């Protein structure tokens, strides 16, 4: 898997007098991303990594959630393996875009159900590293713990970055009843009697989205945040804007050859 190259960064102590408080979280995230190990290149090793990391997921709020900024992450790729990842950061109160970043790359990892993360992670992490701000919450276009090994893309991004994360998928993994038609209605998604997520109706009479915990957030909080981020459309604004950006850039890349 080819990916954008980033330099190594020295470790920054968060209590250092040389670090301005406003840059502390940004510096800590930069260090964490720079220390990310190389990802497996074959499906068997990728599944083993998911099995190993899934116990790192925290499916609860470790502190009272006070999210001020939220990032939507999405990727687009074509048959040649070209990938464009986009991150769009919104002010959660105003819904205004406060930061964006993109990264281009290629992937040779095969399309295997349950291993989407290994096609998207390298460019997504590169885009995150290029942000000028650190978001309080990540909203991913994909699964969290509603996943065959309970470790989807949202979990992987959350564990690698240390940030709270949510998976918002367009299709369900597991079993669930159709939620009521009213906006905000939910229905549990279960696998072997275990609740792994919820179908959430973000717009009345429109097909629901499927929300699951990624990392460091409870399912209740995750659903509340996704509903707040979807005042008009089925998909949360974070996902919509990131999707539009990465698809536009991929088209431009392909057109340039």
Give the CA count within 13 Å in the CB-facing half-sphere of 37. Answer: 8
3-class secondary-structure state, position 237 = helix
Residue 40: per-residue pLDDT: 92
Mean pLDDT of 182-191: 98
For residue 50, what is the enclosing H or E element? helix 43-53
pLDDT in tens, 234-253: 999 999 999 999 999 998 87
CATH at 242: 3.30.2170.10
pLDDT at 230 over 90: yes
User: To which H or E segment does residue 231 belong?
Assistant: none
pLDDT exceeds 60 at position 14: no
Q: Which residue range(s) make up the domain with 207?
A: 21-256
Query: Across 10-19, 21-30, 31-40, 51-60, which has the greatest mean pLDDT?
Result: 51-60
What's the whole-number mean pLDDT along residues 198-210?
A: 98
Number of domains composing the chain: 1
Q: Give yes or no for residue 1 having a pLDDT over 60.
A: no
Cα-only R_g, the chain = 18
Judge whether 25 lies within some domain.
yes
Does residue 224 lie in a domain region?
yes
- Asked if residue 218 is part of any domain, the answer here is yes
* Residue 257: predicted pLDDT: 65
**pLDDT value of position 96:** 98
Q: Round the average pLDDT of the chain to a whole number and report it.
A: 88
Structural domain includes residue 116: yes
Written as six digits, the tokens of 42 are 């074959």
Q: Does residue 7 sit within a domain? A: no
> What per-residue confidence (pLDDT) applies to 235?
97
Is pLDDT at 10 greater than 90 in this prediction? no
Q: Would the annotation count 141 as a binding residue? A: yes
DSSP code at position 55: G
pLDDT at 236: 98
Is residue 28 over pLDDT 90?
A: no
Lowest mean pLDDT among 10-24, 74-88, 120-134: 10-24
Domain assignment present for 6: no
Distances (CA, A) of 143 to 25, 116, 169, 212: 26, 9, 6, 6
- Rounded average pLDDT over 160-187: 97
Whether the Cβ atoms of residue 67 and residue 172 lie closer than 8 Å to each other: no
For residue 32, what pLDDT is reported? 75
Report yes or no on 15 lying in a domain.
no
User: Is 74 part of any known ligand binding site?
Assistant: yes
Q: Is the pLDDT of residue 16 over 70?
A: no
pLDDT at 34: 67
What is the tens place of the pLDDT at every residue in 142-166? Answer: 999 999 999 999 999 999 999 999 9
More confident call, 79 vs 178:
178
pLDDT in tens, 40-77: 989 999 999 999 999 999 999 877 788 999 999 999 98
Whether the pLDDT of residue 91 is over 80: the answer is yes
Instruction: Provide the pLDDT confidence category of residue 108 given band limits of 50, 70 and 90.
Output: confident
- Indicate whether 12 belongs to any domain: no
pLDDT value, residue 4: 43
């Amino acid at each position: 898997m080819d990916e954008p190259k980033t330099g190594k960064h020295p470790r920054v102590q968060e209590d250092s007098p040389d670090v301005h408080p406003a840059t502390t979280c940004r510096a800590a995230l930069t260090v964490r991303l720079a220390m990310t190990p190389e990802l497996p290149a074959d499906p068997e090793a990728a599944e083993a990594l998911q099995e190993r990391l899934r116990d790192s997921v925290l499916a609860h709020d470790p502190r009272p959630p006070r999210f001020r900024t939220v990032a939507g992450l999405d990727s687009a790729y074509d048959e040649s393996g070209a990938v464009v990842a986009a991150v769009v950061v919104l002010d959660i109160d105003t819904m205004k875009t406060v930061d964006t970043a993109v990264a281009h790359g290629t992937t040779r990892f095969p399309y295997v159900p349950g291993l989407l993360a290994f096609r998207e992670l390298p460019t997504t992490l590169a885009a995150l590293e290029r942000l000028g701000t650190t978001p309080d919450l990540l909203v991913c276009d994909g699964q969290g713990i509603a996943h065959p090994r309970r470790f989807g893309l949202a979990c992987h991004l959350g564990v690698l970055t240390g940030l709270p994360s949510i998976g918002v998928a367009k299709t369900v993994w597991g079993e669930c009843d159709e939620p009521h038609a009213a906006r905000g209605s939910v229905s549990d998604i279960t696998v072997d009697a275990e609740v792994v997520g919820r179908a959430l109706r973000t717009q009345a009479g429109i097909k629901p989205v499927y929300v699951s915990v990624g990392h460091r957030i409870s399912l209740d909080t995750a659903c509340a945040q996704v509903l707040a981020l979807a005042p008009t459309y089925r998909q949360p604004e974070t996902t919509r804007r990131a999707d539009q950006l990465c698809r536009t850039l991929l088209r431009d890349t392909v057109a340039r050859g």
